[in-house]
Structure 1
Amino acid sequence: MLDDPLLLAFTLVLVGLAAWVHGFIGIGFPLISTPTLAAVTDLKTAVVLTVIPNIALNILSILRGGNLGASLLPHWRLPVYVLLGSLVGTHFLIGVPGAPLKVLLALMMLVSVAMNRIKGFDWGFIRRAPRTWEAVAGLTGGLLAGTVNISVPPLAIYFMALGLSPIATIQIFNLCFIVGKLTQAGSLAAAGEIHWADMPGNLALTVLAVLALLVGMRLQARTSPAQYRQWLNVSLAVMAVLLLGQVAWQTFSH
């Protein structure tokens, strides 16, 4: 899968950078790694290459904050909904052509960038029916996780409406992510999309990702996440535009 030396070098740098960002702000690995790899390969390859590193980073991010019971138990239904949505979404990933999924991925990235602009919106309707919107956010996030590897927008809106603390938000985010990734990995393996021959490469990427994550976590305490979040938003916007341009070029050049 990574026989091309240039693609291999690009993937190593990208995985290290994305994992560092994830350690720095608590989320971000799939937001950076998936669309960038999809731009130079295809979406399915990008997902297969990053699914195991993703799971490892999610586990470490969940464990880091401590006080897991208080953060996770009140929201135990959310990962269940994410699991169900991921099952459906992964079947779309396997059977649907790549171009529509890339458009969806780009749109979801733009929604993620816009999250900071809608913080002042009145989310009272979510707080008045939290169980209903928990199901909506979880199923939608799982569907997006299974198809385009990004579940942040619907989950972030739900957490924002509830006013959860940053630690609780990061832990629940990563719990939902790991449920989605495990479901996605199992579905891809069952469909023959993940091969044992690719395992050494995936494990090497996982080791690199964990080391970069730990560096990002150490820097987190000494640097303002707001500055890096601004850089991340600009990068996501640029990558979304590039992905849309790539799909338009492939569509109209044939």
Structure 2
Amino acid sequence: MLAVFPGLDTPALLFFAFAVLLLAGFVKGVIGLGLPTISVGLLGLVLAPLEAAALLLIPNLVTNLWQLLIGPDLRGLIRRLWPMLAGIVVGTLLAAAWFPLGGAAWATPLLGLALFVYAGLGLLAIQLAVPARQEGWAGPLVGLSTGAVTILTGVFVLPAVPYLQGLRLQRDDLVQALGLSFQISTLALAAALLWQGDFRMPQAGASLLALLPALGGMLLGQALRSRIGALAFRRAFFGGLLLLGGYLMLKALL
């Protein structure tokens, strides 16, 4: 069923997609993020970024829902973050109206650039500091930018993740806030794909099937979380993304 995507039309490529989804789910289980970033990045080697993002729609919806529901204060986060969340929806839909979904030649190098920048920020441990008085204007701007980046690259970590980290939330609140942001981004992307006719029953069936390895990997990661050194694992995660992003950018130039 995954073969409805042209880049996954052989058994070897299907196995590759299964392994990518398993790995990405495992990383999300360990550190609470990374499923769409790793999946879209690695699948971007054989698929257009938005095709990879379409394959990830249902796994993202399920795993993010799980993440945001188990946190301590969902209502409080919605009240605080709604300007950013509204910006994500508006930015995604506006960008979808202006740019071709996944068909542009620059989509893959832009994906590589996004991964490279995100990984660099993570490795350097650069964190913003967002004063509460600035959230009123910064939140919508971050949301609009995140929505545009989602359409251009298929991933929705920039600038939303650095912004949320800059709010200095408690760990459990931050994990829940990330899940909330990712869920809204996934729903907005799904609306854009449906609007453009790029997510129909065959793609939905493939995305549902992709849930199995992603969820299995996430459960395994959660079970092993306490046995894995979090700092070393995060460095390996960001280091791998840095190399992948660099490769995707170089690939477009060669």
Normalising by structure 1, what TM-score? 0.88
Describe the SS at the equivalent of 1:152. Answer: coil
Give the alignment partner of residue 28 of structure 1, picking from 25, 31, 34.
34
Asked whether the equivalents of residues 22 and 28 of structure 1 are also in contact (C-alpha less than 8 Å), the reply is yes
Deviation at 1:96, TM superposition (A): 6.5
Tell me the CA shift for residue 118 of structure 1: 5.4
CA shift in 2, pair 1:132/1:164, >3 Å: same
- 1:16 is aligned to 2:22: yes
> Which of residues 178, 183, 189 in structure 2 aligns to 1:184?
189
- Of 111-120 and 162-171, deviating more is 111-120
Distance 1:147-1:92 versus aligned 2 partners, 3 A rule: farther
**Conserved? CA contact 1:115–1:153, under 8 Å:** no
Counterpart for residue 114 of structure 2: 108
- Which position in structure 2 is the counterpart of 1:133? 138
Q: Name stretches of at least 5 consecutive residues in structure 1 with no aligned partner.
A: 250-254
On the 8 A contact 2:91/2:147 being kept in 1, the answer is yes
Matched, 1:47 2:50: no
Match of 1:216 among 215, 221, 224: 221
One-letter amino acid matched to 1:150: V
Q: Is it true that 1:197 corresponds to 2:227 in the alignment? A: no
Structure-2 separation of matches of 1:198 and 1:20: 23
Query: What code does the residue aligned with 2:164 have?
Result: F
Please tell me whether residue 167 in structure 1 is matched to residue 172 in structure 2.
yes
Q: Distance in 1 between matches of 2:59 and 2:41?
A: 16
Give CA deviations for 1:195-239 in whole Å, capped at 9, x if unaligned: 212333221111221222122122223333222110111110111
Shift of 1:36: 1.1
Unaligned ranges ≥5, structure 2 = none
Q: Is 1:230 aligned to 2:235, yes or no?
A: yes
1:242 aligns with 2:247: yes
- Given that 1:72 and 1:171 are in contact with CA atoms closer than 8 Å, whether structure 2 keeps it comes out as no
Deviation at residue 82 of structure 1 after TM alignment: 1.0
Match of 1:57 in 2: 63
Between 1:230-239 and 1:34-43, the stretch displaced more is 34-43
Superposed CA deviations along residues 26-60 of structure 1, whole A, max 9, x for unmatched, are 11111101021111222232122112211111111
The code of the aligned residue for 1:140 comes to: S
Whole-angstrom distance in 2 between the partners of 1:120 and 1:26? 18
The aligned residue for residue 67 of structure 1 is 73
Percent of aligned positions that are identical: 24
RMSD of aligned Cα (Å): 2.1
Report the number of matched residues.
247
Instruction: Assess if the C-alpha contact under 8 Å between 1:23 and 1:61 holds in 2.
Output: no
Aligned twin of 1:252: none
Show CA shifts across 1:135-191 (max 9, x none): 111111121123212222312332233211222122111211111111211221222
Amino acid at match of 1:64: I
Give how far 1:64 is off.
2.6
More helix by share: 1
